Amino acid sequence: MIAESIARVADLAGQAATLQANQDQLSRRIEETQRDIKSTRESVATAEQEAARAIAGATGEDESHAATQQMEKTVQLALAKEAGNQIKQRAIDAMVDQASNLTRSIDEIQNQIDEEERIAAEAALLLLGERWNHRVAELVELGALIAGVDSLLGGRLHALDSLKIPLLGSKTRHCVDRYVLLETADSSPLLLADLSSL
């Protein structure tokens, strides 16, 4: 289960990276189109100012006629450029919608990644808990032997008064303490002859 979740996380991360790359490309295209619109409007504004200056500065009929022609060309240019800008703005709006959709998809994938990571971590915790409890069981066996030997000397394992080892995953939150070792030792009392097998 852990390996499958990790593999799914890797696959989902690849999908998210692809979507993110697409979103980054869209962002660059949006910025480029916005700069293009701004540049176009600035150039139209410059042409309008020049036409206005030409009209204002015309002193003769020829200059006035030339200024009028310049103004008409500037108006046509402005109308054409603004029509192009409107199309570009619609393209920007469409790209923004696409970027929003990509953001939602990336968020959904990230949620799936988080879920798979949670599944993997929980499975790992369960596995490690089982290993821990197995080691604790081995320690209980050793502790019971120590308690048995100590009882041969008339002791009650007071050296381990502060012992408290939790068992992981136990609903009762059971802990191994000195009394568990004593009970285990008392259930199978150690004889002096048993010491030769240690």
Does residue 191 surpass a pLDDT of 80?
A: no
Each residue of 16-43: pLDDT tens digit? Answer: 999 999 999 999 999 999 999 999 999 9
Does residue 44 surpass a pLDDT of 70?
A: yes
Query: What is the predicted pLDDT for the residue at 192?
Result: 72
What is the CA angle 127-130-132, rounded to 5?
110
Residues 6+ apart with CB under 8 A from 33: 88, 91, 92, 95
Residues 6+ apart with CB under 8 A from 50: 70, 74
Tokens of 185: 């030792």
Q: In what helix (H) or strand (E) does residue 6 lie, and over which residues does it extend?
A: helix 2-57
- Tell me which of 48 and 194 has the higher pLDDT: 48
Pairing type for strands 164-166 and 175-177 reads antiparallel
Closest alpha carbon to 15 in 131, 105, 126, 146: 105
Each residue of 53-93: pLDDT tens digit? Answer: 888 888 888 888 888 888 889 899 889 999 999 999 999 99
CB 116 within 8 A of CB 12: yes
**Locate tokens 């048993």: which residue?**
194
CB 103 within 8 A of CB 16: no
DSSP state of 159: G
pLDDT-derived band at 170, boundaries 50, 70, 90: low
**Dist. CA 117–CA 124, nearest whole Å:** 10
**Dist. CA 159–CA 1, nearest whole Å:** 43
In terms of pTM, does the model score above 0.75? no
Query: What is the predicted pLDDT for the residue at 194?
Result: 73
CB count in 10 Å sphere of residue 3: 9
Closest alpha carbon to 177 in 193, 158, 196, 149: 158
Tokens of 52: 């206005």
**Dist. CA 150–CA 155, nearest whole Å:** 5
Query: What is the predicted pLDDT for the residue at 66?
Result: 85
